Amino acid sequence: MKLTNGNLTVKTDPTGTTTFGYDYENRQITFDAPGTTTDGSYVYNATGARISKTVNGATEKYILDGANVIADYNLVSGIWNLTASYVTPFLDQNLLTVQVNDKWYYMHDGLGSVRSIMKGNSEKKSYDYYAFGEMRDEKTFGNLQGFYNRYKFTSREWDAESVNYYYRARYYTPTTGRFTARDPIGYLGGLNLYSYVGNNPVMFTDPSGEIIPWWCLIAALAAILGGCDDCHDMPTTTPPPTKPCNVSCTTDGSIDAANKFTGTFDKCDIPDDCTGCSWNIVGGTVNVTPVCCVKPELVGWDWISSWQRVANKAKVTADCSKCPSGTYVSMGLTFSCDCDGNSPCYSCKNQITVTSSTGTR
């Protein structure tokens, strides 16, 4: 395999050497397979959309409505002949095609991949795919009468000559699960410039070949708000607000006439989500009130662990003014508490000696 300017230009396998050519905008314009039987060339309009291709001397032209192809024409003896027209109300959602004077209907799955072709009440074609789009099984039922179909995995155009899918901005090879050219949007789409939908093809699609994954959009928004450095950082979160909890303590001491308590404040049974408790004296009675701060937790689905774990990137703030220094773990990430009021922590001293009328455990 050989890359030029980030584009796949040479691929060698047991069948021989295949070459790919590109224009100055990194659009694939030629394809040359081993031998002389399969060669292709591609033409694009000013917006970068493919409008025709020629394979082994046969030229096919496409008429577009926005991003969708609505008609195919073949050049025969210098005359353009309409070979197919499409009804596509939304992006890559073909409902039907008119070919050989008849209507053929597309049936899709949840990803938009074409699963079957219907003519009337009869199924004429069926398709089954592996996760990354490689054809697992393709069946034909009865006489197709000249019908052909270019739209398969995620309803993108299949180029049989190169065994690639045309994903508008670039081409995709389902056998390897990667694009043949680097991502036009650069690292906004992730660190891997050739991966397809962050290696999660059962959940997402990329009809343009340059979609920014939703997890990067969320992280980019967090970065704008000052939460993280790049799309691989966990967004900043803050722990939930303090909440009351039940704390029982044992005291050993006495209260003098000046309402001053002298003694020890010991053996407090404090739940894990409490930092400690405070106390005061009202009418000669020692009142113990918990002061709680919930353990720092990262809110939401831990998406980093399902794609690429980046440890020690999260930032959590909490009131640690009453906590000692220490190291704590939350959601698989390690945090350090330096008790400056800005680091997460959730444990306090186990005992305090009380020598004034108010204090904090």
* DSSP bridge partners of 91: none
Helix (H) or strand (E) holding 204, with range, is none
Tell me the two tokens of residue 25: 């905008």
Query: Closest by alpha carbon to 7, among 119, 20, 114, 307?
Result: 20
> pLDDT above 70 covers what percent of the chain?
59
Residue 267 sits at φ, ψ, to 5 deg, of: 55, 60
- Interior angle at CA 136, CA 132 and CA 137, nearest 5: 145
pLDDT in 10s for each residue of the chain, 361 residues: 777 899 999 999 888 999 999 999 999 999 998 876 788 999 999 999 999 999 999 999 999 999 999 999 999 989 999 999 999 999 999 999 999 899 999 999 999 999 999 999 999 999 999 999 999 999 999 999 899 999 999 999 999 999 999 999 999 999 999 999 999 988 888 889 999 998 999 989 999 999 877 666 666 666 666 544 444 433 333 433 444 444 455 556 666 666 555 555 444 454 544 444 454 555 555 555 444 333 433 333 333 333 333 333 333 333 344 444 555 454 444 444 444 444 443 333 322 233 333 433 3
Nearby residues of 73 by Cβ (< 8 Å), 6 or more positions away: 60, 61, 62, 63, 80, 81, 82, 83
So where are the chain's domains? 2-183, 248-360
According to the model, what pLDDT value does residue 339 have? Answer: 41
Whether the model clears a pTM of 0.75, i.e. scores above it, the answer is no
Q: How many CB atoms lie within 10 A of CB 327?
A: 9
Sorted by sequence, the CB contacts under 8 Å of residue 272 that are 6+ apart come out as: 295, 346
Tens-place pLDDT, residues 200-220: 999 899 999 998 776 666 666
Closest residue by Cα to residue 339 from 359, 324, 351, 352: 324
State the Cα–Cα distance between residues 191 and 161, nearest whole angstrom. Answer: 30
Q: Which amino acid is at 67?
A: A
CA distance 61 to 50: 9
Task: Yes or no: say if 113 and 152 are a contact pair by the CB < 8 Å rule.
Answer: yes
Residue written as token pair 């039987």: 37
Q: Are 88 and 78 in contact (CB under 8 A)?
A: no
**Residues 182/223, Cβ–Cβ less than 8 Å:** no
Nearest in space to 189 (alpha carbons), one of 169, 165, 215: 215
User: How remote is the C-alpha of 223 from its chain's centroid?
Assistant: 17
Alpha-carbon gap, residue 304 to 218, rounded angstroms: 12
Q: How many CB atoms lie within 10 A of CB 99?
A: 21
The answer to whether residues 82 and 100 touch, using CB atoms and an 8 Å cutoff, is: no
Q: How far apart are CA 134 and CA 153, in angstroms?
A: 8
How many CA within 13 A on the CB side of residue 350? Answer: 1
Q: Which parts of the chain fold into alpha helices (H)? A: 214-224, 304-307
